[in-house]
């Protein structure tokens, strides 16, 4: 039995364990800004040996480089929008993959990373991770982007999809990042993941409940898992 272990640490920060290969997505260990909620349930010193740090946005609040600088192994791969490279290098991480072209592939050890489209273009990216027989779609903080429908031309149906549910149903255009519950459920209707997990500011709120209800309509084959900060989920499949 192969196991994909997912730990939601805080806000959109998630630690993924692909049967022994570790990926940290959208790292944020600092206590501020307050809108991101409480601090991470795991500190930098408690992290395992990582193969990849994935940063899905270009803003200064998308990655906590000050805290990450304390991580001892700087030989791992960091991937994100091109304008995150300078901050990554300044924190000691010299191996950076610029995610500036949709459907461009990167590889580190047994892990494959495929850049997905994101909106606003040039500011947000999405990704497909494949390792140990698992396929994961990472929605980062992207707005709803119809180009994601192209994903299944390049890769398999996701075992797990992370969707940034951050906006209210009535405010589809009110935020520069994330999706309303119905928009995120629409992505699930296209990708048909086996499991969908909401992330971001609305990950464990009423919006997450609305997302689950919308998925029941648009993606009835998808199981929704709502994880609070510090929660762990294991996705298993036969070898």
Domain map (residue ranges) of the chain: 2-237
Residue 10 reports pLDDT greater than 60 = yes
- What is the Cβ-side half-sphere exposure of residue 236, based on CA atoms within 13 angstroms? 3
pLDDT band at 166 (very low <50, low <70, confident <90, very high): confident
Residue 108 reports pLDDT greater than 80 = yes
Residue 164 reports pLDDT greater than 80 = yes
- The SS3 assignment for 55 reads coil
Arithmetic mean of pLDDT over the chain:
90
pLDDT band at 115 (very low <50, low <70, confident <90, very high): very high
How far apart are the C-alpha atoms of 125 and 102, rounded to whole Å? 8
pLDDT of residue 122: 86
pLDDT of residue 174: 45
Residue 34 reports pLDDT greater than 70 = no
**Across 10-25, average pLDDT:** 93
pLDDT band at 173 (very low <50, low <70, confident <90, very high): very low
pLDDT band at 201 (very low <50, low <70, confident <90, very high): low
Range list of β-strands (E), the chain? 2-10, 13-18, 21-25, 50-54, 77-80, 96-98, 105-108, 111-116, 126-131, 134-138, 160-164, 195-199, 223-224, 232-237
Q: Kindly write down the DSSP assignment for every residue of 187-231, as one continuous string.
A: HHHHH--SEEEEESTTTTSHHHHHHHHHHHHH-TTPEE----TT-
Compare 204 and 112 and report the one with higher pLDDT: 112
Compare 238 and 226 and report the one with higher pLDDT: 226
2-237 classified as CATH 3.60.15.10: yes
- Lowest model confidence (mean pLDDT) among 20-24, 34-38, 202-206: 34-38
Structure-block tokens of residue 161: 């999809």
Compare 165 and 176 and report the one with higher pLDDT: 165
pLDDT of residue 202: 60
Per-residue pLDDT tens digits for 43-62: 899 999 999 999 999 877 68
pLDDT band at 177 (very low <50, low <70, confident <90, very high): confident
This prediction's pTM: 0.93
């Amino acid at each position: 039995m192969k196991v994909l272990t997912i730990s939601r640490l805080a806000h959109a920060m998630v630690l993924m364990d692909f049967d022994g290969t570790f990926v940290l997505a959208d790292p944020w260990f600092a206590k501020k800004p307050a809108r991101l909620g409480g601090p991470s349930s795991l500190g930098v010193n408690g992290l395992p040996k990582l193969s990849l740090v994935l940063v899905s946005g270009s803003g200064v609040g998308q990655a906590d480089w000050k805290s990450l600088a304390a991580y001892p192994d700087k030989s791992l791969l960091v991937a994100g929008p091109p304008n995150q490279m300078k901050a990554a290098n300044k924190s000691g991480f010299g191996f950076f993959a610029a995610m500036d072209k949709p459907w461009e592939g990167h590889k580190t050890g047994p892990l494959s990373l495929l850049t997905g489209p994101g909106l606003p273009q040039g500011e947000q990216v999405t990704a497909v991770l494949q390792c140990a027989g698992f396929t994961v779609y990472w929605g980062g903080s992207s707005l709803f982007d119809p180009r994601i429908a192209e994903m299944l031309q390049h890769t398999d149906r996701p075992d797990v999809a992370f969707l940034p549910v951050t906006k209210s149903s009535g405010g589809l255009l009110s935020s520069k990042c994330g999706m309303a519950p119905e928009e995120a459920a629409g992505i699930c209707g296209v990708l048909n993941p086996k499991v969908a997990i909401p992330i971001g500011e609305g990950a464990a709120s009423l919006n997450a409940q609305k997302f689950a209800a919308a998925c029941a309509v648009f993606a009835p084959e998808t199981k929704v898992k709502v994880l609070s900060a510090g929660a762990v989920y294991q996705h298993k499949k036969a070898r």
